[in-house]
Chain A
Amino acid sequence: MNEMYNVSVSPHLRSETGTNSIMRDVAIALLPPCLFGIYNFGYKALLLIVVSVLAAIVTEFVYEKLVKRPVTVGDFSAVVTGMILAVNLPATLPLWMAALGSVFAILVVKQLFGGLGQNFMNPALAGRCFLLISFGSQMTAFPAVDGISAATPLTAMKAGESVDLLQMFIGNYSGCIGETSVLAILLGAGYLLLKKVISIRIPGIYILSTMVFIVVLNLVTGNGMPTGGYLLAHLFGGGLLIGAFFMATDYVTSPITPMGQVIYALLIGFLTALFRVVGKSAEGVSYAIIISNMAVPLIEKATVPTPFGRKKGKGGAKA
């Protein structure tokens, strides 16, 4: 008998879902917001999306070639980073800035920290914040849509104007490319939930707690009980939903312990509400997520569950 069969340590099965199929699903789920953004803001939005995605892929490819690591652009994660960055940009942004954001996201935030799975911040969001800090005015220059005010609903509301909630739901207003249409975002989110790429735990708790904290903070700061319309505007606007379903759920930068996920979602909810009600910024989602990202290692360590059959507080085995 000369033939030798393969050997491996058990189990001898593997998941049919791979990293690339998950990332591909995220990219598919991002299509409705992207498409709506293109419909809403025209070809400039399309160009921005294409440029962000291409810049992300090329940066990853070139870097990995240079440092002689295996090239991982096939796992779709760079595509997703490019797309998430793009949906968070105003359509009027110069293309080179979008490209720069992608390069920063992939090169500095992802690759320099060791590549996929090693970054401690969501690369796309870090890219966005980098652009916000560097090019503040261009990043908040939102184009007018169908003659409606060029201000985003939340800034309008801060200024005391009223907003049209139905238009916000459909997405006929100004804002970043992919954040305006609640409908499109929910379509994508539904797909992710259906495919079990994400669970409802983080986005659900995040959204709910944001609402609760907004009420609480309004009461505490003496603004009185907010109206339903005000809350809905906060729910629909300012990228809360796209942040909740697509960014707060980013695997690498959210906790894996069940309890940790709850705490993490509450933390983002609190920070978002804080930035919106107390802070000057009307948006705040990106910052809230990024700051919470940095607390994840800590949260995870503190929330390691008690193993089956062990008493609480006695994590270690008896020697």
Chain B
Amino acid sequence: MESLKQKAKELLEAGEIKAVLGYARGTSDTRRPHVAMSALEVDKLVADQACTTNLANLLMKHEIKHLGKLAVVASRPSTLRSLLQLTAEHQVADGAILALVPAEGGVKQLGTAQAFEEHLALVPQKKTEKDQALLDRLKAMPRAERFAFWQKEFSRCMKCYACRNSCPMCYCERCTMDCNRPQWVPVPSHAVGNQEYHLVRAMHLAGRCVECGECGRACPVGIPVHLLTFFAEDSVRAQFGQGGGASATIDNALSTFRPDDKETFIR
């Protein structure tokens, strides 16, 4: 933690960056996102096991983007995976954002997509046991039962869009949900509106989701929405041999046309 603060101060003082996006102590000893632009603010930085939020979505936020060059504390591999995917989608230029990775006895400073990829090779992406268990259960369910499961979960949804807004890959300036010509998805948070929203969200993220689980964590009413995109991600990986967040040069499976596609209907 001390070396992280040290590093952050050095970078700020040298003028290499304008701000560090990291974590600070939050309510009831949780961790919250924290933007440090001065030595005083750097002192509030925390790096430990409790830092679970994927900060990458904040990097896409207008006010933060405009602070100037940023370093982000990448306590979780998924933050780096997000950066790779965002680079692949031309939202972040390679080298534009520094990643500070707290490591045994120090802090690793990574500046390029290649460095992110090399680091990620050392820390394989793993779902939590709880997520994996529920995902396996869902996959084993007959279709009707699975449908019923989600219907029940969606009945609690209130379309607060915390799941969408916390997702690093949901950066669109104008989300489909916010368009009314045509009105693709009903606005009300009733059975149909909720279901269509979640279907569209899952489809828009299939092959792009970096499996950070942030959406599910953000949901105030505990709907495991991240399992929808995890599920979609597994399907895309099985079908196309690639998933979200693996590299900075990947073409998204569901939005790329190739004349040599293995399916004939698309050619």
Pairing of A with B: no
Show the binding face of B for A, using Cβ within 8 Å: none
